[in-house]
Structure 1
Amino acid sequence: MTAVVEGRAIVQDYHVPGGILAKARTVRALKGVDFAVPKGKTLAIVGESGSGKSTLARIIALIDAPSGGELLLDGLPVDIGKRRPDSALRSKVQMVFQNPYGSLNPRQKIGNVLTEPLVINTDTPAAERRDRAEAMLQKVGLLPEHYNRYPHMFSGGQRQRIAIARALMLNPSLLVLDEPVSALDLSVQAQVLNLLADLQDELELTYVFVSHDLSVVRYIADEVMVISNGEAVEQGTRDQIFANPTHPYTQQLFNATPVTDVEAIRQRVARRRMAREARPA
């Protein structure tokens, strides 16, 4: 099976300018990272702050070009260089960022936020753009009448649902999610994770999910890649990594991370929803 996204020896270098007391130097943020994600699966990238996981996410999302190595989408090499990817390529991969409060323009109504990707990348008529946006709002658990509201009128969890809806407007096959629930309360985290799981099943989406929260990773991931200092020190299935972490860094990461039972929260949220739906109208 051809991977939806694959990386071969991905390298990323950053130039650090010199100063009065220091010479200019090059910092290697990624050191030859390999990965492959099959259709409909989730690869979780785990590591501490500064490990290189968000750098890799931006490369996969076609925001940054790698300094070396090869990135492939649907088996075809991608070389965006210093150019922005074209519309056809952009439609394949979208990114959801960490901060639901900072990722939406406060001056734009939600309808404009959702239809903007269609305006930029397609020739979809205005009426159809609105229909698709309202349908997408419902798909992520919001209402069509939210189309004319502003971001400040929504909670953090609702804003992240809007960000997910915007990412899906071009019907991508791959979503790159960079700490998408870390800014949310635990009960809201579980709701958003449930939504992502449902969307993945319904739309056959492939996810690259960046997180430092091992409880979230354990719930959402099929495969796990652990990054330390720009290197992938351990890779395997979720069950393999959690049952028997072999690299000392992975073991240290597990020992240092408090465990939150997201699965238990998810089940409580599901029970409450079922109870509400069972009440007589």
Structure 2
Amino acid sequence: MLAKLTHWFDSRRRDRALRRYAISDALWQQTLDGLPFLAHLDTADLVRLRELTSLFIAQKQFSTAHDLELTDAITVAIAAQASLPILNLGLELYRGWVGILVYPGDFVVRQTVEDEDGVVHEVEHDASGEAWEGAHVALSWEDAQMTDGQDAYNVVIHEFAHKIDMLSGEADGHPPLFRRWHAPLDAAAWAGVFDHAYDQFCAKIDAVPQRRWSRFERESLIDPYAADHPSEFFAVCSEALFVQPHAFEAEYPELYRLLARYYRQDPARTGALEGLEAQAPKKSSTD
């Protein structure tokens, strides 16, 4: 009885959020037009993505900096991109934080860093996106609009991949695995593919002569920045999975299959999900 009552309250809350944060047909079509990499989704998936986008907006608080006007177009465009990776997983992967801060363009991030000798330094750098454990996500709106799919870049997917990675603690390229979604994938299977791919990518980067570095940066599907840390490799490869799935699968087939099975999406339609249980329920959780 208690379980039925809880489900009833959750359904009521969900329906109320969908009504209050409904996205107009015109704005949704405008959003889709600006995100051509969503073309692999069928009609049913797009309906679920639209609902999940509304539920995301209902749960998260958007704010802006430097006099950027917060419009519905900004909110929906960012929310739709953030919702794509969790389309078949659910909003609970974004639990524990509420804020999204949108800057007009790049912004300065200040950090405290301890070097190998234990000396603490205050450093600052320009960023197009930043995600903090248990805190908000910051995004450059200029970069969030770089969505034509000509390369594998997507700052929104990148930062929200970090938030998923942080669910089990500090981001380390080993996101949490849930039995109901990811079985029979386990930590050992993840490490066997992901860690090997990361090591190979780092070796590939190290082998590039300095004179060819500029050309390599232009031609590489995976941004060389991904070699900085396993967490960055996970986030950059997550971008590639959704934005350039066919090229990603062709160049990194095992890694593509791993991430497709993690996100429970196969945008290149390779059959990577065969053998998994049915996709997540049609209605996305608000929990």
For normalisation by structure 2, the TM-score amounts to 0.31
Higher helix share: 2
Higher strand share: 1
For normalisation by structure 1, the TM-score amounts to 0.32
